């Protein structure tokens, strides 16, 4: 006898939206939901499995027995199976046992909409409610101002499993631990936002979370769903925004995951040329299928609504956009116009951005897109993809290549450093120094710097100063803020003991002060995406390996003057041209003693002279410290 009671949360309108790919809050209907039917409490289950012959809910309540609790398929051809099982409580373990119409194949799957999962390597879903009393109303009401593109946006990228570990046992910190330790640290360092590498449930630690099975569940490695809410809440109460890495690009083939879910290619594209990623050996979503689009956009809505997330950084966008991405000739098929663009993906990304920006005030979406695909961060109504920002991968690669060169050769490569300004305002760019740059033999950022120990750290201070002075928002991977020496190892804590050494402490002080400078100087953020927010003074002094430029805010008096010396030679009486008569004062110098520098400073206010230079009528003579960036304000 079937022990499932006929019951539904779906209306006809829900089904129509689902079939059309326009139901963006499926998590309110799909999955496991606590309900009361005829005075009896229990759990309502709903799962999409259109190729199924039968669907059983199996779990710890029925000894994982198939056929004991059979769901019923809806009459409306939606492919949704549903039903109510009485007397199930919070914490019930369950899966779906799906017998397919395809040759009777049987799959056993975790719930794609589960709010909580067993701790890996266990794979069951957990019936769970998301009740929580939020205390971040001040943040949520003012979020639009914090997240505006004219405001400072300095992001600390964090991998929760390795930011810090507990004692000698190397155990994970919990979400509750992070709510104290991480919040305090980020506040002290002056970052405006935290970006978490994927927190959604994933089976395999070495994937760093980028191959997901539980799209609607924060990983149980660090605690319960409400514990993660508490962490977000505490960050918001401290005035810190929260960005999540979001992975709509691919998913793993693990047997309990989304792949071949009901005995058919349900979530993945059935054509292997579009549905399999050769680099990551993973499956690619079928972006042309309406129900899959609803699943993915509902997932974005879920984190923004249920967890008060402020932004989504969308992973691997380039792999989504191109049909020939990482594929050889003959391994891909052109679109209907003969091109290599994935038209279904482009349509999906536009719909995703329109939906989230249209429903959540003050959020941002950020594309990790490594090609020159046009108008990624332009509005959809002008033909763009609709993202708020795009990672500036070209800046990252060119700048790191330049900094790795011995200083004696830099004068031959200055164009590599200045090239980014030719396209800096074609998109709303975020400048990343991310986790991908400190793994797989690339070395840590600090150990890429040339020279002896003093020069290595001077170069690192200069790199960070140049990054914060360059137009665009900023992202720095954890450990970079104190000059982590070794490559990132996801299996252990960062090397916090390095902070006992002056050079590493000096790097930390530099980042603190750069964050302060970025937040408190309008010239560095008010026009960070606009052409007229930047002005070269001189980019062609190759022989001295020096560049100089101005950053402008909305008010003329908010302009800053930035000069970078990329050699270890002190430049006395170094002259730069300025547009008019003015007095300037040094407000940041990466060579200062508290940063580990040699303390070559411009201690007095400097006045321009009526002496033409750099194509301007006035000029001023400066002292440039070795391997340093100097910032001046106009008095």
Active-site residue numbers? Answer: 315, 368
Alpha helices per DSSP H over 272-385 = 272-275, 290-306, 317-321, 343-359
CA distances from 379 to 296, 306, 373, 431 (A): 20, 26, 14, 20
Distance of CA 22 to the CA centre of its chain: 25
Instruction: Give burial (CB, 10 Å; 0-12/13-18/19+) of 170.
Output: exposed
Whether 70 contacts 55, CB under 8 Å: yes
Alpha helices per DSSP H over 360-501 = 393-404, 414-418, 445-448, 453-469
Q: Describe the chain by its helix, strand, coil percentages, rounded to 5.
A: 30, 25, 45
d(CA 153, CA 432): 12
Closest CA to 248 of 341, 145, 353: 353
- Please say whether the dihedral angle defined by the alpha carbons of residues 528, 533, 539 and 545, taken in this order, is positive or negative: negative
Q: Residue 144 has which token pair? A: 């639009």
Phi and psi at residue 588, in whole multiples of 5°? -155, 135
Contacts 24+ apart (CB under 8 A), 18-21: 18/78, 18/80, 18/290, 18/291, 18/294, 19/78, 19/290, 19/291, 20/290, 21/289, 21/290, 21/291, 21/292, 21/293, 21/294
d(CA 351, CA 369): 17
d(CA 320, CA 250): 9
Q: Residue 117 has which token pair? A: 């999962």
């Amino acid at each position: 006898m079937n022990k499932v009671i006929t019951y539904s949360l779906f209306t006809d309108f829900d089904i129509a939206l689902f079939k059309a790919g326009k139901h963006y809050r499926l998590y309110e209907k799909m999955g496991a939901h606590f309900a009361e039917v005829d005075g009896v409490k229990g759990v309502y289950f709903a799962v999409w499995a259109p190729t199924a012959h039968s669907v059983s809910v199996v779990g710890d309540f029925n000894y994982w027995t198939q056929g004991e609790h059979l769901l019923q398929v809806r009459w409306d051809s939606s492919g949704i199976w549903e039903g109510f099982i009485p007397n199930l409580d919070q914490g019930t373990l369950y899966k779906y046992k799906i017998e397919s119409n395809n040759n009777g194949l049987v799959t056993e799957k975790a719930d794609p909409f589960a709010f909580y999962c067993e701790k890996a390597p266990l794979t069951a879903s957990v019936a769970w409610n998301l009740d929580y009393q939020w205390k971040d109303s001040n943040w949520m009401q003012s979020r639009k101002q914090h997240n505006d593109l004219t405001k400072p946006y300095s992001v600390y990228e964090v991998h929760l499993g390795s930011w810090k570990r507990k004692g000698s046992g190397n155990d994970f910190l919990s979400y509750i631990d992070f709510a104290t330790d991480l919040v305090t640290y980020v506040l002290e360092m002056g970052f405006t936002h935290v970006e978490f590498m994927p927190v959604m449930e994933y089976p395999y630690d070495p994937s760093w979370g980028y191959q997901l099975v539980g799209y609607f569940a924060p990983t149980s490695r660090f605690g319960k769903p409400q514990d993660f809410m508490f962490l977000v809440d505490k960050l918001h109460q401290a005035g810190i925004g929260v960005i999540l890495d979001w992975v709509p690009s691919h998913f793993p083939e693990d047997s309990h995951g989304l792949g071949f879910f009901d005995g058919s290619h349900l979530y993945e594209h059935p054509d292997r040329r579009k549905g399999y990623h050769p680099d990551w050996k993973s499956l690619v979503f079928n972006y042309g299928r309406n129900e899959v689009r609803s699943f993915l956009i509902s997932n974005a809505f879920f984190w923004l609504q249920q967890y008060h997330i402020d932004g989504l950084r969308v992973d691997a966008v380039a792999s989504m956009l191109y049909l020939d991405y990482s594929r050889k000739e003959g391994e891909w098929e052109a679109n209907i116009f003969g091109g290599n663009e994935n038209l279904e993906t482009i349509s999906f990304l536009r719909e995703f951005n329109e939906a989230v920006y249209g429903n959540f005030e003050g959020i941002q979406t950020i594309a990790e897109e490594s090609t020159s695909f046009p108008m990624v961060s332009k509005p959809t109504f002008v033909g763009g993809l609709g993202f708020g920002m795009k990672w500036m991968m070209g800046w990252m690669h060119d700048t790191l290549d330049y900094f790795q060169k011995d200083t004696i050769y830099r004068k031959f490569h200055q164009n590599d450093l200045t090239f980014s300004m030719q396209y800096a305002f074609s998109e709303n760019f975020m400048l990343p120094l991310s986790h991908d740059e400190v793994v797989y033999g690339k070395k840590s950022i600090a150990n890429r710097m040339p020279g002896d120990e003093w020069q290595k750290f001077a170069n690192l201070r200069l790199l960070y100063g140049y990054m914060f002075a360059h137009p665009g928002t900023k992202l720095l991977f954890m450990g970079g803020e104190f000059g982590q020496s070794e490559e990132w190892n996801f299996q252990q804590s960062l090397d916090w003991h390095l902070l006992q050494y002056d050079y590493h402490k000096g790097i930390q002080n530099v980042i603190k002060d750069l964050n302060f400078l970025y937040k408190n100087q309008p010239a560095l953020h008010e026009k960070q995406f606009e052409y007229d927010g930047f002005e070269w003074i001189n980019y062609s002094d190759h022989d001295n390996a020096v560049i100089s430029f101005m950053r402008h805010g909305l008010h003329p008096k908010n302009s800053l003057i930035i000069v970078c010396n990329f050699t270890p030679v002190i430049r006395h009486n170094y002259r730069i041209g300025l547009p008019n008569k003015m007095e300037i004062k040094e407000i940041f110098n990466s060579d200062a003693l508290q940063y580990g520098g040699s303390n070559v400073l411009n201690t007095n206010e400097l006045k321009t002279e009526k002496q033409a230079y750099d194509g301007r009528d006035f000029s001023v003579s400066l002292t440039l410290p070795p391997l340093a960036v100097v910032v001046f304000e106009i008095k």
